[in-house]
Amino acid sequence: MTIQTIKTTPFADQKPGTSGLRKRVSVYQQPNYVENYVQAIFDSLEGFAGQTLVIGGDGRFYNDVAIQKAIRLASANGFGRVMVGQNGLLSTPAASHVIRHYKAFGGLVLSASHNPGGPDGDFGIKYNVGNGGPAPEKITDAVFARTKVIDSYKTIDAPDVALDRIGTQKSGDMVVEVIDPVADYAALMESLFDFPAIRGLFASGFTMMFDAMHAITGPYAHAILEGKLGAPKGTVRNGVPLPDFGAGHPDPNLVYCKDMYDLLMTADGPDFGAASDGDGDRNLIIGKNRFVTPSDSLALLAANAHLAPAYKRGIAGIARSMPTSAAADRVAAKLGIEMHETPTGWKFFGNLLDAGRVTICGEESAGTGSNHVREKDGLWAVLLWLNILAVRKQSVDAIVREHWATYGRNYYTRHDYEEVDAAIAGKLVDDLRAQLPSLPGKSFGEDLQVAYADDFTYHDPVDGSTSAKQGVRIGFTDGSRIVLRLSGTGTVGATLRLYLERYEAADGNHGLDTQVALEPLIALSETLAGIKQRTGRTEPSVIT
């Protein structure tokens, strides 16, 4: 096949965020948009001639079209082999594992994670490096710089690859291997967890609901939960991936999984409920009469990880994103292991994992994972919970209550204000930053005295890199916190995320409603930042 060099002009909006480049489908459908961005990625890399590239996505609308484009560009640019999931499917954690397992050069993950899909929805492309994790900032910065000056891309005139047919094909001179998207990942999970114990849990009459949200984890959950682990048929709901996620919003939280939450809060509900998101890297955990916040889930999984075979010798350390509650910090202190606070974005955990400094990582945005891959992993978190339940033979509620009685409870919530005018949001954060030097030492009410106020800067202990302006933090002498940051996962306007946290000691009151417990901080945040007043919003878009 002849390599074609196609003239193009730059797009001004191809700056990748914390998880790649996410835009509306209509933006990606512009002529040359996909080609420009993928070529800019390849132009920013070195040494991939003849190497293997992994490609896969969450099955959302436009995945199939973009994958064919990416395969042609990979062939024209000199990759020796592409490994792609059957029908273009690969969950994000499965893609990370395939990259690592087959020692690929890197991979393209086509997803917009938990964002809606369909022709009017969102699309995204993210590049993962050879360790299986998201590209570090030095690469994403180089990619963005290249997108601003790109004037041509390389492709080939070749027919589409038959993505539905497992086996080897060719695209130009490049080998294309279509693989079973589930098999390698399922084998990895079986090596980590006590599958016989979990099978025994289900055999004992334990009941579970897993909502795949018509997203990527459906095939994985069917194969592992109902197949290998013997959960009854019907345990997995909405298990067929659809381009528009069944007209739903594949974000596993209490807004979009309300029906499951409501059922778990009744006597007739199952013992355990879980869900994952569009690309399979997030999780929701609910026990009968007990929702487990992602921050608490991270702490609980770390405290109980030794019950699973892969972690029976203990864990090296824990890492959490800065906005995530400090519940895991208390576990790390008791275990005598390292604890790291990083900016939001899984890429910041990669160096710590590679260096063996940490074993388990988590973010308050429902992402948890370990050193088995370099991405957060929704189904991994669900399986570790099942392993813990199988060994401890207690309910989720009982395990959570015991944990709080040992470590105390971090009351925690996140208020999201979505699609806010970007200029208003930016000015709001800038104005709050300007107040920071004057806040330490100030008292608000009887109990809230400011201990520190800063804009979080992260110094990577492995490579020495620095990441500044990662979120405004206002901490109080009693351990409470207010955090405000702009999210990089939206595609329209800006998303303001407000995080509120209050610690209650082990012998304190752990039974308060979360929003009631945090009411003083909620009111103070409005006084300091004026989100509602300045945005015109009467309430958050989502509360988690």
Which amino acids are annotated catalytic?
113
- Determine how β-strand 542-543 pairs with β-strand 409-420: antiparallel
Q: What Å distances lie between residue 200 and 190, 262, 397, CA to CA? A: 15, 27, 20
Alpha-carbon torsion 244, 245, 249, 255, what sign? positive
Residue 538, burial from CB neighbour count under 10 angstroms (0-12, 13-18, 19+): exposed
The strand pairing partners of 84, in sequence order, are: 55, 178
User: Measuring CA to CA, which residue among 213, 241, 210, 215 is closest to residue 227?
Assistant: 210
* 135 three-class SS: coil
Phi-psi bin for 347: left (phi > 0), alpha (psi -120 to 50), beta? alpha
Nearest Cα to 96, choosing from 24, 185, 180, 30? 185
Letter for the amino acid at 507? D
Tokens 């906005």 belong to residue: 323
* Identity of the amino acid at 81: R
Nearest to 534 by CA among 496, 491, 492: 496
Angle at 189 between CA 188 and CA 195, to 5 degrees: 130
CA 19 from chain centre, in angstroms, equals 9
